[in-house]
Amino acid sequence: MATYNNLVRELSRLDPYEKAGLDSFRRTGAMLRHGQYLYLAMHGTDRRTLEAINDPSALREQGQIVASFHERYGNTGLTEKDFMPADMNIAVEKLLRYIEIPAHSHEFIECAYVLRGSCIHRVGENEVIQQEGSFILIPVPVRHQLIAVGDSLCLTIKIRLSHFIKMTIPHLPSMIYPISFQCGEDPSAENMLLFLYEQQKLALPYRKELMEWAASGLITYILQRYIDTMQPLYSIALRDQRILDMINYMYNNYRTITLHDLAAEYHYNESYLSRMFQEQTGRSFSETVKDFKLRKAAELLKTKHWKLDHICEEIGYKDTRQFIRSFKEMYGVTPDRFRKSVQIES
C-alpha cells in the first residue's frame, strides 16, 4: 500500500506541461490550449513561458500544427498506431490538468477513473461532472471530451479494440454511448488501477500479460460491485426511459430492424413513434439505425480483412454503392481510404 501511496504522490505532482497550463490559468484565467500543448510537445518544455508560447511566430506554427493534427485524426479519430505502444494491448496515462484537450474520438476503447477530485465529461451536448470514484467506459467512435477540474487526478486506460473484443467479461453491456459507474471510496478498485500503472512504469517481464489480466479484472470487479450504479452518458439529454429501451433494442437488432418492428415491439402507432423518437433524440429512426450500421462497419474495417460486399452483408446493407456514399458522409473518407488509414489487426 505504501508503494501505491508513493505512486499517487508522484502522479499528483505537476509535470512541465501542466505547470505551463497552471501558469496560463493563473495569469489569464484560461487553460493551455491544445495547439499550445502540441507546440510544447514538439519543441520541449524549455519554451513553456507564456511569452514564448504567444510569440507571433509560435502562434503561426501552432495554427499549422492544429490543422495538421485535425487533418490526420479528424476523420478516423485518434489511432492505436500513434497513441498506443506497438507491443501493448493496454496503456495507462494521467489525464493532463490545466490543458484543454478538444473533443475527439478514437479507434480504441478508453476507460477513465477519477482518483481524486472530479473531471468534466462532455458527450455531444451533454455535460456530466464525474466525481471521485467514477469509472467511465468510452466506446468507439464516440466523440467526447474529458477535462480535469483543478488539481484533480484521473487516470485513463486505453484498450486495443481487437483485444477488447476478445476479453471475456461476463455481462458487459453493449456500449452505444459511454457508460459510467460510481465506485465511491473503494481501495480495492484504486489498487487494481494503480497496479496497472505500476506495471507499465516498471516495464518488467510479463507486464503485458499482467496488464491485460488487471484491466479485465478491474472492469469485471466494477461490474460485480457497482452495476446497479451504471448510467449511460448520452450525446443528447433523453427525457424518457422508454426511448433508451428502444435505442438498446435497435442497437441489438440494427441489422434488420424496421420502424414497423419497433412499433410492434413497444405497442405504438408507427407515425406517433416516429414523431416521438425525433422529438426525444433529435434524429430520425432511420438516421439512428444507419449510425449503428456505419459504426459497426468502421469496427469491421479496423479488425477484419473482409471485402466490402461481406461487410455490407454483415451490417445489413443491400447496396454496396449506397454504403460507400453513406460511410463517406459520416467519416469524410471512403471505406477503402478509412481502412488504409488505420492499422488492421487479425
83 lies in the same domain as 156: yes
What pLDDT, in 10s, does the model give residues 217-246?
999 999 999 988 888 776 655 556 677 778
User: Kindly report the CA angle at 61 between 56 and 66, in degrees rounded to 5?
Assistant: 125
Band (pLDDT 50/70/90 cuts) for residue 346 is very low
pLDDT at 47: 59
278 lies in the same domain as 301: yes
Q: Domain of residue 129: give its range.
A: 2-232
Higher pLDDT, 100 or 141: 100
pLDDT at 173: 64
Domain contains 185: yes
Separation between Cα atoms, residue 210 and residue 263, nearest integer Å: 47
pLDDT at 125: 73
Global pTM exceeds 0.85? no
- Mean pLDDT in residue range 169-183: 78
The proportion of the chain whose per-residue pLDDT surpasses 70, expressed as a percent, equals: 93
Domain boundary among 232, 256, 278: 232
Separation between Cα atoms, residue 78 and residue 138, nearest integer Å: 13
Q: Based on the structure, what is the number of domains in the chain?
A: 2
Domain contains 346: no
Residue 265 CB neighbours (<10 A): 14
212 lies in the same domain as 256: no
258 lies in the same domain as 213: no
pLDDT at 342: 66
216 lies in the same domain as 282: no
250 lies in the same domain as 105: no
Domain boundary among 232, 253, 281: 232
pLDDT at 279: 81
218 lies in the same domain as 248: no
Domain boundary among 232, 259, 283: 232
- Mean pLDDT in residue range 173-188: 84
200 lies in the same domain as 56: yes
Band (pLDDT 50/70/90 cuts) for residue 345 is very low
Domain contains 217: yes
154 lies in the same domain as 272: no
The domain that holds 281 is classified in CATH as: 1.10.10.60
Domain contains 315: yes
CB 143, CB 105: distance < 8 Å:
yes
Higher pLDDT, 278 or 313: 313
Half-sphere exposure of 297 (CA within 13 A, CB side): 31
pLDDT at 241: 66
Domain contains 276: yes
Average pLDDT for the chain = 87
The alpha carbon of 213 is separated from its chain's Cα centroid by a whole number of angstroms, namely 21
Domain contains 9: yes
pLDDT at 1: 45
27 lies in the same domain as 62: yes
276 lies in the same domain as 138: no
**What 3-state DSSP class applies to 155?**
strand
The domain that holds 198 is classified in CATH as: 2.60.120.280
The residues, any chain, with a CB within 8 Å of residue 152's CB and separated by 6 or more, are 97, 114, 116, 117, 118, 119
Residue 344 pLDDT exceeds 50: no
Residue 2 pLDDT exceeds 60: no
Band (pLDDT 50/70/90 cuts) for residue 128 is confident
218 lies in the same domain as 247: no
The string of DSSP codes covering 177-219 is S-EEEE--S-HHHHHHHHHHHHHHHH--TTHHHHHHHHHHHHH
**What 3-state DSSP class applies to 47?**
helix
